[in-house]
A and B are shown apart, each in its own frame.
Chain A
């Protein structure tokens, strides 16, 4: 009885079969690529139809933008990844956020000398809206956060730090650890924090508290009031406008 599947001939035959499968695989992928190309064109047409009816809505309504972003995320699509993508080209979503990115960078740069590169999302929103002028569209907190998320990839240290009731936006490549974030959260209530407060609220050793505070000082994110009555107070300029409810003014 012949034994199949064994011997040089069988191996050669198997190799041939495999090669044939691979070839077919190539053909299959090409088919699918061609299919995708066609479907892309169809999709683009649908997108254009949608845009002709609702393009205004994107620019006009923060709620609509939010919904749009959520839906895209749900299906695994990033409409802001590239200015060359359909979403940007046809719907114009891109320009809205990329321009916002530029405005955010400019505001952060202008105020850096004052707050060391930390700013609350509220103050950022205020300043950006001021810069956009009276007739510009409204910009929501979500819009800003999405724009900032995109800016991260530029490497200059854009990031966000949640602190209790708000979010701090960082625009410098300073290293901020969990310790720093926690202390910032503590400072949010009054705009300043002391070593004693850190010891009491967080249960840390003095040395650890001091290290964190000194780092913030060095980075220009905190200012020292050595003449405070009880003990030195470490103030955060980023939180000033929150406290006084006044509009800060951007620097020169």
Chain B
């Protein structure tokens, strides 16, 4: 390690950077020294190491000092290394971190990889000996004073400057983005004003607007994301888009909702993943909207539905006479069920299950029957509402019993 000299890291005129690599540790032969984590730079003339934390700490050795290099493969817990064997230090060498060393080689540990390329380039430079044909002035080492004559600072400072420029560029891009965004919003605002004006006209006319115009207007609002100023809903139900969606949904969901019957069902425009099929088993005719939301969006992958899209489409299921319908429980929980599904009938089955076990909580029932806890609870609550079950509400949880008051009175 005594072959290295302190340096500013600035490249000479005529010296070119070949490759650099972060995360390199420098060792004096077999011994670890304080040069633990740095950037290793290879130029046409030198091998430079700069501390990643303290940029002032920068050392270099001329390539002409290199006798030969060898690779050391990585091992368990050990990074790959390049061993650099060096000539003895020349007498006029500039001062460096070590006055003497018992080793004539140093090891470069590539903690963040990159050794393969570095080795290749280093070999190349040593072979080509470009430093001989590109004289850089008298000394290899540069004193801080002689910077005056420099026209352009290449080297590490130059690299840092480039990085800084790039950062500024990114910042500028973001400011530009914000500027463009403001302009865009101005235009969007105009659209909002126009839609308000139209809505006022509609209100005034009170029903003289044609069906067709209403549909058109609603779809314009949909495109812009403007709440319907007339009805105050976010376009409620009734756009073509939601009608189409409703039909699509009926197509996708009917298969997972129906119990497996070996049906070969062609679903237009969508593929049925294994997820959908497995849900067939579990759901038995009924699914919460959150489940549907996840299922459909996972299947789509792109151009996902918004939660509102889903709700608005589901609201149209019944009126479009599709085989599915939306049902809203007292608790506000929303489900999709097959038209053929009769929750009230399922309640009879639930009563049997509860009777068999004596009593059940929603969790227990869910596990037994293989449905989600959310829907299990709704079913039990419905059973209670219909008078079949009684509740025992304690700190240990909500437990349901068969309503003996009814049956044994």
Residues of chain A touching chain B, judged by Cβ–Cβ distance below 8 Å, are 22, 25-26, 28-30, 32-33, 35-37, 39-40, 42-44, 46-47, 50, 53-54, 57, 61, 64, 67-68, 71-72, 74-89, 94-95, 98-99, 101-102, 105-106, 112-113, 150-157, 172-173, 214, 217-218, 220, 224
Residues of A within 8 A of B205 (CB): 22, 25-26, 29
Q: How far is the CB of B288 from the nearest CB of chain A, in Å?
A: 6
Q: Are B294 and A150 closer than 8 Å at their CB atoms?
A: no
Q: Are B174 and A64 closer than 8 Å at their CB atoms?
A: yes
Quick one: which of B226, B306, B395 contacts A94, CB cutoff 8 A? B306
Binds A, one of B98-106, B144-152, B212-220, B248-256: B212-220
Quick one: which of A47, A71, A82, A218 contacts B395, CB cutoff 8 A? A218
Binds A, one of B114-122, B193-201, B338-346: B193-201
**Would you call B143 an interface residue if the criterion is a C-beta within 8 Å of the partner chain's C-beta atoms?**
no
CA distance A44 to B309 in the complex (A): 21
CA distance A168 to B213 in the complex (A): 44
Q: A53-B180, A64-B174, A84-B223 are in contact. List 11 more A-B contacts (CB 8 A).
A: A50-B184, A64-B181, A85-B225, A102-B293, A153-B311, A155-B333, A156-B289, A156-B333, A156-B374, A157-B332, A217-B395
Q: Are B293 and A105 closer than 8 Å at their CB atoms?
A: yes
Q: Are B194 and A35 closer than 8 Å at their CB atoms?
A: yes
**Would you call B132 an interface residue if the criterion is a C-beta within 8 Å of the partner chain's C-beta atoms?**
no
Q: Are B209 and A26 closer than 8 Å at their CB atoms?
A: yes
Residues of A within 8 A of B294 (CB): 102, 105-106
Q: How far is the CB of B64 from the nearest CB of chain A, in Å?
A: 44
Q: Are A88 and B306 closer than 8 Å at their CB atoms?
A: yes
Q: Are A29 and B220 closer than 8 Å at their CB atoms?
A: no
Q: Are B306 and A82 closer than 8 Å at their CB atoms?
A: yes
B223's nearest neighbour on chain A, judged by CB, is A86
CA distance A86 to B220 in the complex (A): 10
CA distance A107 to B108 in the complex (A): 45
Binds A, one of B46-54, B258-266, B295-303: B295-303
Q: How far is the CB of A209 from the nearest CB of chain B, in Å?
A: 14
Q: Are B304 and A95 closer than 8 Å at their CB atoms?
A: yes
CA distance A220 to B394 in the complex (A): 12
Q: Are A157 and B333 closer than 8 Å at their CB atoms?
A: yes
Q: Are B289 and A155 closer than 8 Å at their CB atoms?
A: yes
**Would you call B208 an interface residue if the criterion is a C-beta within 8 Å of the partner chain's C-beta atoms?**
yes
**Would you call B305 an interface residue if the criterion is a C-beta within 8 Å of the partner chain's C-beta atoms?**
yes
Q: How far is the CB of B147 from the nearest CB of chain A, in Å?
A: 39
CA distance A36 to B221 in the complex (A): 10
Q: Are A46 and B185 closer than 8 Å at their CB atoms?
A: no
Residues of B within 8 A of A64 (CB): 174, 177-178, 181
**What are the 5 tightest A-B residue pairs by CB atom distance, in nearest-first order?**
A155-B334, A98-B304, A75-B189, A154-B289, A54-B177
Q: Are B224 and A40 closer than 8 Å at their CB atoms?
A: yes
Q: Are B194 and A36 closer than 8 Å at their CB atoms?
A: yes
Residues of B within 8 A of A26 (CB): 205, 208-209
**Would you call B222 an interface residue if the criterion is a C-beta within 8 Å of the partner chain's C-beta atoms?**
yes
Quick one: which of B307, B331, B363, B397 contacts A154, CB cutoff 8 A? B307
Q: Are B334 and A150 closer than 8 Å at their CB atoms?
A: no
**Would you call B128 an interface residue if the criterion is a C-beta within 8 Å of the partner chain's C-beta atoms?**
no
**Would you call B398 an interface residue if the criterion is a C-beta within 8 Å of the partner chain's C-beta atoms?**
yes
CA distance A34 to B369 in the complex (A): 56
B226's nearest neighbour on chain A, judged by CB, is A77
A29's nearest neighbour on chain B, judged by CB, is B201
**Would you call B188 an interface residue if the criterion is a C-beta within 8 Å of the partner chain's C-beta atoms?**
yes
Q: Which residues of B163-204 have CB atoms within 8 Å of chain A's CB atoms? A: 173-174, 176-178, 180-182, 184-185, 187-192, 194-195, 197-198, 201-202, 204
Q: Are B302 and A85 closer than 8 Å at their CB atoms?
A: no
Q: How far is the CB of A245 from the nearest CB of chain B, in Å?
A: 27
Quick one: which of A39, A71, A84 contacts B190, CB cutoff 8 A? A39
Residues of A within 8 A of B298 (CB): 102
Assuming the contacts A28-B201, A29-B198, A77-B226, asked whether A83 and B303 have C-beta atoms less than 8 A apart, the reply is yes
Q: How far is the CB of A244 from the nearest CB of chain B, in Å?
A: 26
Q: Are A81 and B395 closer than 8 Å at their CB atoms?
A: no
CA distance A33 to B222 in the complex (A): 14
